[in-house]
């Protein structure tokens, strides 16, 4: 197993919910694992944690026990058959966002600490663009933003980029366009958003790739399976693999 010296911590956000952020996170993790990278996902969605549901596990301890309680990250890490590890979150803990803020240094250190055992750490932030939701992006070197062709998704993804930039001073954004129809749609949508970002925010975005619309995606979610693991030859899984290939080179 190859372990680079410095782990790459990446946040995955989307602005609007339901655009496939968690699907992308899990499948990219599975692809990176297959490429021999050691990957950890941290479910940072304090509002509606659902990685555990997508993976079909029922965790006993969660991120909450690290932030609230006395547990350390290694205590709550769950190994999966897909090769990657993950830290589950708990839904509906309203106090948590504030606590997170108060303990930000401690959590930062804890994430930095556990990251040392991995090549890649993916922080799956909650949907929405409140500062609370996006606080985790603070820990990430790179920020993936998942969007699709819907107007609300475009607007919220753009708003996410703007908030992260204005609040945390980050401008290292990687765009994944999900549910695309046609080979060029991903690049096309990206080019538009990139132009807007350049014009209004003054920096450019990076195009990471697209995940085409594929019925296999919803089937896999329904079955609580990881598409890239169960059906790596599906169109969506192949594209996840292409994206993961780019991420594997990140340092």
Q: Which residues bind other proteins (CB under 8 A)?
A: 15-17, 46-48, 91-92, 94-98, 126-133, 149-152, 154-156, 158-159, 162-163, 181-182, 185, 188-189, 192-193, 195-196, 199-200
Q: Which is nearer to other proteins, 45 or 85 (CB)?
A: 45
Contact 177, 210 (CB under 8 A): yes
- Smallest gap from residue 168 Cβ to other proteins (A): 15
The CA-based angle 245-21-206, given to 5 degrees, is 50
Q: Which is nearer to other proteins, 91 or 103 (CB)?
A: 91
Cβ 194 to other proteins shortest distance, Å: 11
Q: Identify whether the C-beta of residue 116 lies closer than 8 Å to the C-beta of residue 125.
A: no
Tell me the closest approach of the beta carbon of residue 144 to other proteins, in angstroms. 18
Least Cβ distance, residue 55 to other proteins (angstroms): 19
Q: Which is nearer to other proteins, 181 or 204 (CB)?
A: 181
d(CA 141, CA 11): 8
Closer to other proteins by Cβ: residue 113 or 166: 166
């Amino acid at each position: 197993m190859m372990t680079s010296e410095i782990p790459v911590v990446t946040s995955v956000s989307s602005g609007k919910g339901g655009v496939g952020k968690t699907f992308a996170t899990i499948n990219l993790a599975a692809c990176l694992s297959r490429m021999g990278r050691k990957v950890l996902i941290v479910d940072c969605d304090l509002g509606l944690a659902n990685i555990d549901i997508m993976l079909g596990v029922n965790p006993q301890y969660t991120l909450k026990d690290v932030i609230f309680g006395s547990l350390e990250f290694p205590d709550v890490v769950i190994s999966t058959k897909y090769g990657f590890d993950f830290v589950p979150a708990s839904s509906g803990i309203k106090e948590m966002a504030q606590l997170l803020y108060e303990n930000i240094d401690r959590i930062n250190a804890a994430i930095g600490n556990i990251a040392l055992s991995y090549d890649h750490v993916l922080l799956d932030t909650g949907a929405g663009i409140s500062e609370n939701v996006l606080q985790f992006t603070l820990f990430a070197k790179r920020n993936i933003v998942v969007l699709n062709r819907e107007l609300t998704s475009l607007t919220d993804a753009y708003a996410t980029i703007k908030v992260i930039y204005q609040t945390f001073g980050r401008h290292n954004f990687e765009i994944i366009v999900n549910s695309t129809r046609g080979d060029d749609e991903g690049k096309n949508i990206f080019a538009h958003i990139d132009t807007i970002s350049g014009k209004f925010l003054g920096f450019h975005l990076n195009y990471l790739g697209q995940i085409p619309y594929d019925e296999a995606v919803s089937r896999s979610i329904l079955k609580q399976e990881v598409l890239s693991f169960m059906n790596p030859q599906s169109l969506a899984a192949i594209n996840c693999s292409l994206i993961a290939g780019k991420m594997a080179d990140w340092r």
